[in-house]
Structure 1
Amino acid sequence: MNTIYYVEYDAEHHGPFVFDIPEGHDCWLLVITQTPALFWVKGQLEEFPPYCAVLYPPYSKIYYRACSDQYVNDWIRFASDELYVTETSLPLGEPFALDDPEYCHKLFQLLVAEHSLQKGYKESSIDYLLRTLFNKLLESYVQKNIGPQHYPLMKLRTAIHNHPSHPWTVATMAKTMNISPGYLQLIYKKSFGLSCIDDVIHSRIRLAKEYLRHHPYTVAEIADRCGYRNVEHFCRQFKQITGVSPKRFKHQ
């Protein structure tokens, strides 16, 4: 069972912000930073970049402070007897980089919403959200070498998946990240296992399959809605990925 005492996202602090609890809380504290911060780790202060998570167990020293005039974080103070918390493999009191901070931020928004509700299923909803959050934290912790281009890459990939019909090109994608097209293709494939253009194509075909299943559009209309200016090119790519033509897919 989990009991949330307080949860907040986008908590802003201005001026010389310092959080100093020498004896710790009598419960768990999870902090996710959106700005750089200094944390007390293994007897000394260390500076960490944005998008780090740190989990403090009950009765452990807590000390962190801002690196500039503004400090922003998401945080949750809670009690738990769940094994995924009490026997977690996450490091305790040591910040680590997040793989997908936007996803974790959305989970915090949902936790805040659920915590404010007075409904019968609130406890189970909070438990599922916390389990998901801890799973994402574990995924981040085991992923090594999260470099400075990781977060712009994640933002670009989210944009591709949300707007597959956009006229994406390698050149325009590289320009949004202020890097060369060649370097973008190299790091994109290394990060996600496929090229940025292949990601665009797969996103468009996923959207096309949705239209073919649930909408009465013609193949030409679907091609246009998915970002293709040439129907034959759309049909060719669709068959390459699915093994059947759009018309056959629709009939099946």
Structure 2
Amino acid sequence: MNQIHYVETNATHESDFVFDIPQGHQCWLLVITKTPALFRVNGELKEYPAHHVILYEARQPIYYRACGNVYINDWLRFSSDEIYISRTSLPYGIPFALDDPDYCSKLFELLVVEHNFNRNCQESSIDSLLRILFNKLQESYWQGDLRPQYYNLQRLRTAIQTNPGDPWTVSRMAQSLQLSPGYLQSIYKKTFGISCMEDVINSRIRLAKEYLYQNTLSVAEVAFRCGYRNIEHFCRQFKRVTGYSPGRYQLYKNDSGVLLPNTRLDRPGR
């Protein structure tokens, strides 16, 4: 069971902010920074950049403070006897980089809502959100060091997958990050294992498959909504990714959206 004692997102403090509790709390404390901060780790004071997370167990000494004009964080003080928390492999009292701060910030916003409103499913909703949050923390911890441009690249990739129909080009993406097109393509591939334009294409085809499954639009309308201004170009890319033309994909699928087995889509005259 989990019990939230207090949760806050975007907590903003002045430059003289210091949080010093030598005896620690009687429960867990989770802090995610949104600005640089100084943490005392193993007796030494060290500066960490924004988007770091630190987990304190009960009765562990706590010390951190601002190191700029303003200090902002999300934080959560809570009790829990759940195994995914009590036996976590995350380090105690040692900050590590968070790979998707925007995602985790949204989880904190939802935790604030669930904690402050007494809803019928409050307990299970809080547990679900904490499980997701700790999953994301685990992913971040085991990912290791992040590239300097990682957070900007992550936001770009989220924008691509959220709005695949936008007029994406390498030049446009590079300009938005103030990078050269060649450098963007290089670090994007190294970071995500796929080129930025392949990411655009895959996101567009994924959206196109959903439109074709709904079967309410013509192939030309699907192409336009997915960011293509040339239907022939759309058809070529769709077939390259899926192995089927859009029309035949739309025709030969069952009610679950899966292509029927043993269906020959390349028969002459079909």
TM-score by length of 1: 0.98
Q: Please report the RMSD computed on the Cα atoms of aligned residues, expressed in angstroms.
A: 0.9
1:1-252 matches, within 5 Å, as 1-251=1-251, 252=253
The alignment partner of 1:30 has SS state of strand
- The alpha-carbon deviation at position 117 of structure 1 amounts to 2.0
Deviations 1:211-251 (A, max 9, x none): 11225111111111111111011011111111111111112
More off after superposition, 206-215 vs 105-114: 206-215
Deviations 1:123-171 (A, max 9, x none): 1111111111111101000112202100000011011111111111111
Alignment check: 8 A CA contact 2:3 2:78 kept: yes
Structure 1 Cα separation of the partners of residues 92 and 215 of structure 2: 50
Q: Which residue type is aligned with residue 208 of structure 1?
A: A
Q: Which residue type is aligned with residue 10 of structure 1?
A: N
- The alpha-carbon deviation at position 189 of structure 1 amounts to 0.9
More off after superposition, 55-64 vs 164-173: 164-173
More off after superposition, 50-59 vs 10-19: 10-19
The alignment partner of 1:8 has SS state of strand
Q: How many residues align?
A: 252
Structure 2 Cα separation of the partners of residues 144 and 176 of structure 1: 26
Structure 2 Cα separation of the partners of residues 223 and 69 of structure 1: 49
* Runs of 4+ deviating beyond 6 Å: none
Deviations 1:75-124 (A, max 9, x none): 00000111111111101001000011111111111111111221221111
More off after superposition, 231-240 vs 214-223: 214-223
The alignment partner of 1:240 has SS state of helix
Q: Which residue type is aligned with residue 48 of structure 1?
A: Y
Deviations 1:15-56 (A, max 9, x none): 311111110000000000000000000101000000000000
More off after superposition, 120-129 vs 72-81: 120-129
Structure 1 Cα separation of the partners of residues 88 and 191 of structure 2: 26
The alignment partner of 1:228 has SS state of coil
The alignment partner of 1:54 has SS state of strand
Any unmatched runs of 5+ in structure 2? 254-270
The alignment partner of 2:111 has SS state of helix
